[in-house]
Amino acid sequence: MCKSLVQKYNVAGPRYTSYPTVPYWDDASFSLKKWKESLSVSFNESNISEGISLYIHLPFCESMCTFCGCNKRITKRHNVEEPYIKAVLKEWSLYRELLTGRPKIKELHIGGGTPTFFSSENLELLIKGILRTANLADDYEFSFEGHPNNTTKKHLRTLYNLGFTRVSFGVQDYNKTVQKAIHRIQPFENVKQATLAAREIGYTSIGHDIIFGLPFQTEVHVSKTIELTKELMPDRIAFYSYAHVPWIKGNGQRGYNETNLPSGASKRAQYEVGKALLSKAGYHEVGMDHFALESDSLYKAMITNKLHRNFMGYTASKTQAMIGLGVSSISDSWYGFSQNVKGIEEYYHLIEQNIIPVYRGHMLTKEDLIVRQHILNLMCHFETSWTNQSLIIDELNDIVFKLKEMEADGLVIFEKESIKITQKGQPYIRNVCMAFDVLLQRKQPKTRLFSMTV
């Protein structure tokens, strides 16, 4: 890893789970009416042919993990479960009234928060309530995020019987000093128990999430974590950089000083060490920050050019419409984005008033759709082209000019009206996408909005 390149390209930048990125949404011209119309159009265009995706946000956690940037509510009171599930099912019914015809679900993912904060009985109530008014696509995939400390065999068995075949467990790092700093104490044995239980029950894709760049973390810690992970051989691994954004996430990420964080060069070295170990173990790099065995659906999607990226991260297939349920969830009609309110009490109030609880969003322009496609191509396939006139925008010459410097650094190569990211350039994929991000180029933020790219 060239330290000078790390220093040059280690800048604040988006992770591009969407384009436009959330800080550049045009909230002023957005309305709930426009969002409903765009979703109805998208649903009518795509439901029969490919189905829809659902994301359900369950925000409750029993303790605060200081590395986490997700929307959550810390509580040990489990009587919050039933009212929340009732509200989510009511929100789903509001969407069902909006859509013409019975939705066909292709993907469903439960995130949080801590989904396994909820009892298996309440999770069953939630999923059965959703499926009661929907059909399933032939190749549907259901997944959820499990906390190794509280995911029981009953959780796993219940969700498996409801159609879930994929689960991801948050590992982060096995070093005790790092775990103490991020307030996430979980022994290897807990992860092993949850992983083996899922495999025994029949889950076909088990994932582990590992983070580098955490406070007090070193290359030795990353190596040890991956060596232990190899003992369990999960089907896929999300190996990604810690996003330090305390100015956005408040006190949750202020449990340590910035001096306790590895430098940009050190973070990149941690990644390179981890990547080499994963490659040696038989994992293939998929897109950005993801690794999978050849038997996993994510790897198969990559080699068949079906890999997609949305607010849920990388997925093995694309649906045009994605509906997010629960507080802070983001929905995507392809023509527009919307986000639900973040406060639970406000969410309940709007649901009780029979109002879809959206508080902001963005309707995509023709230019947005073109740039979005280029960024998706880069994030999923490491290349994009503009041989088709419909993929040309006014700023194309400016974009090419910026990329020429990256070409000189060996990060990209140009072919006729196309560009490919080199293996050397893959760690800088966010920087390449930023060259296409015309909204970011037109209006550089005055305050820091994003985590560092390296």
Sign of CA dihedral 213, 218, 224, 226: positive
Tell me the Ramachandran region of residue 377: left when phi exceeds 0, alpha when psi lies from -120 to 50, beta otherwise: alpha
DSSP state of 25: -
The Cβ of residue 422 has, within 10 Å, a number of other Cβ atoms equal to 15
336 is in an annotated binding site: no
H or E segment at 345? helix 344-352
DSSP state of 308: E
Longest dimension (CA), the chain: 61
112 is in an annotated binding site: yes
DSSP state of 75: -
61 is in an annotated binding site: yes
Beta bridge partners of 56: 110, 325
65 is in an annotated binding site: yes
* Cα gap 440→446, rounded to integer Å: 11
Sign of CA dihedral 274, 285, 181, 151: negative
Beta bridge partners of 55: 109, 324
- Give the count of alpha carbons within 13 A of 393, CB side only: 21
- 120-131 vs 153-161: helix crossing angle, rounded to 10: 10
* Cα gap 371→434, rounded to integer Å: 11
Secondary structure in 3-state letters for 425-454: CHHHHHHHHHHHCHHHHHCCCCCCCCCECC
55 is in an annotated binding site: yes
* Cα gap 272→222, rounded to integer Å: 10
Place of tokens 């902001």: 360
172 is in an annotated binding site: yes
* Cα gap 35→49, rounded to integer Å: 22
Paired tokens of 191: 């992860």
67 is in an annotated binding site: yes
Sign of CA dihedral 45, 439, 425, 227: negative
69 is in an annotated binding site: yes
Beta bridge partners of 420: 383, 413
113 is in an annotated binding site: yes
Which residues belong to the annotated binding site? 55, 61, 65, 67-69, 112-114, 145, 172, 184, 209, 243, 330
Annotated binding site for [4Fe-4S] cluster: 61, 65, 68
Enumerate the known binding-site residues for S-adenosyl-L-methionine.
55, 67-69, 112-114, 145, 172, 184, 209, 243, 330
